[in-house]
Structure 1
């Protein structure tokens, strides 16, 4: 008990009798637990009342040769309850019990709290306490416990602030009152309280949250609380919002491009024209048909000129669509005229084997417009001539 190692070791060590009365301690134990507790005090007297029964039960089993291990809260030198992990073993052939005490995270004021800074700094970087605190303080993660009444009993982590709350602020608050009984996350929490591990992604406070809900069983197999760990995915939500904005912009740009590539122009009273350029495929002709027929009806057009001067080639399916478009124009009471047909396009149309006798064509757009004006003038003169 008086060795140099025992006196200078940074760990907390005690020697007690089977009833827990402290008979020996090292300087670190006196510093952490206080002189009045280690000098003639009892380990069980310093223990939190809620933990005494469970610790005493495990302590008694050392008489049967079992090693002791437990987690509980003990008053420290300042008189505040702190969480510790206890390990103990009975001395071989004697009644003395050697106890090792290690500070652990504790639940206090609704937060998961590690030991004070000086104790935490003394631990190695790989210590679970330091790792846990670093995760909660630097990542957008929140950890919380919710009981069977759907009330928060613990809440900690940087992710709490991301959601608009301080760590511990929601303790005593009902998650049902906060988010509503039918919210997906609330329903998942109830499933976890019923014993089912759940993983879910929800959106709240304009943030995407990915959560894992785990039922926490006690020694009797009951589930008094469930553990929730939630990661706030701000970057994902922001990226999705930016993607939606970009997609909407692309759709608007595509609409502008469609209108520019197939503009329907009214060049004269009751005469509209559709100049086409580039490669004409079936999809483009389908869009042309919708726009052109709608314009024929809206303007009460008498002639619709389809100008193919800028079209180098069309496939057989597209040529068939063009003939269908001209027939549709005729059904609406207008006459379709095709201008500017190039030799390659003419050859494709001929290979279809369709009846071209009803197809009105002109060499170019100017000739087509002149034909329309001449026919409308003839119709007016015909109407003006009195019948005999």
Structure 2
């Protein structure tokens, strides 16, 4: 028998087989195109992110920098150049000694060396003169990171110019010191200790008398009685507007303390509010000399002095 040949494939089958072969041959090229497309997209994204970081670094009002192990700048923003007075000058590859006066460069180099010795994160204040005669105060923060590309240790950091803040702080301290001096002067003027003659001191008190002021008067008067060796100390309350029981207790303790120093404490010019406060304490006031006015108090001291002299 004569062998019969297999039936010829149909046109559709031939087209299908040819398409399959073509797809198999074209597949590596399609993969290459797809890989190239993804790489291009990733490259565009990295460039966009890098540009965004550059814009942030340039726009922020801080100094941003990075240095290699030889103290050469790898990265700076425009604020670093402006601080150094080198706006527009290329700083990459240079050190602080190339950009700053030697005293300022030495301070920054010493700070960098402390970070490399101690590690971690260093935050400190530095006072430098990047331009002669223009002292700046900087708040500096920096740390060490390892570069994934070069495997080298890189110092990265920032600094903020706090010169104006320091100036305001100093002004506030100066104002507070002035206020304290003025308050001390006012306290001294509001309760002056006057030596009317040998052995007799008077303290004319004016205005409201609270516990703090009474305590200050006690401290100053006792020191003066001891220093002068006074025999009498007159507390004149004629000008005292108001006094509570706590303040009255201070005054009575003051009179007792004066007696312990060998002098006699005398209270004059007690106002009604002061009288009520003293009575409310329910203390024995018989041993305390109280007189109606400062004049009466001075006459009393004169009589006592004459009696002792006679």
- 1:145 match: 66
* Residue 74 (structure 2) pairs with residue 178 (structure 1): no
- 1:96 match: none
- 1:207 match: 136
* Residue 35 (structure 2) pairs with residue 65 (structure 1): yes
Residues 229-273 of structure 1 show CA distances to partners (whole Å, capped at 9, x for unaligned) of 222122212211211111111111111111112111111221111
Q: Secondary structure at the match of 1:65?
A: helix
Residues 101-149 of structure 1 show CA distances to partners (whole Å, capped at 9, x for unaligned) of x8999xxxxxxxxxxxxxxxxxxxxx6498368538xx4x322212235
> CA–CA distance in 2 between the matches of 1:163 and 1:301?
67
TM-score by length of 1: 0.58
Which structure has the greater CA radius of gyration?
2
> CA–CA distance in 2 between the matches of 1:279 and 1:155?
63
How many residues align structurally? Answer: 266
Which structure's relative contact order is higher, taking Cα pairs within 8 Å and 6+ residues apart? 2
Greater Cα shift, 150-159 or 349-358: 150-159
Contact 2:193 2:202 in 1 (8 A): yes
Q: Report how far residue 341 of structure 1 moved.
A: 0.8
Within 5 A, what are the aligned runs for 1:1-388? 65=35, 67-68=38-39, 87=43, 128=52, 131=55, 135=59, 139=61, 141-162=62-83, 168=91, 171-173=94-96, 178-179=106-107, 183=111, 187-188=114-115, 194=119, 196=120, 198=121, 200-205=123-128, 206-213=135-142, 215-219=144-148, 222-381=151-310
Residues 183-238 of structure 1 show CA distances to partners (whole Å, capped at 9, x for unaligned) of 5x7545666xx5x5x47341312533233435444336945212222221222122
Q: Secondary structure at the match of 2:106?
A: helix
Contact 1:153 1:172 in 2 (8 A): no
> CA–CA distance in 2 between the matches of 1:355 and 1:366?
25
Greater Cα shift, 370-379 or 222-231: 222-231
> CA–CA distance in 2 between the matches of 1:295 and 1:374?
23
Counterparts in 2 of 1:165 and 1:332: CA distance versus 1, 3 Å? farther
> CA–CA distance in 2 between the matches of 1:214 and 1:360?
74
Bigger proportion of residues as helix: 2
The gaps in structure 2 that reach 5 residues or longer are 1-31, 129-134
Cα RMSD of the aligned pairs, angstroms, is 3.8
Contact 1:155 1:171 in 2 (8 A): no
Q: Secondary structure at the match of 2:238?
A: strand
> CA–CA distance in 1 between the matches of 2:106 and 2:40?
39
Q: Report how far residue 345 of structure 1 moved.
A: 1.2
The gaps in structure 1 that reach 5 residues or longer are 1-61, 71-85, 89-101, 106-126, 382-388
Contact 2:139 2:160 in 1 (8 A): yes
TM-score by length of 2: 0.71
Counterparts in 2 of 1:170 and 1:298: CA distance versus 1, 3 Å? farther
Q: Report how far residue 289 of structure 1 moved.
A: 0.7
> CA–CA distance in 1 between the matches of 2:179 and 2:40?
64
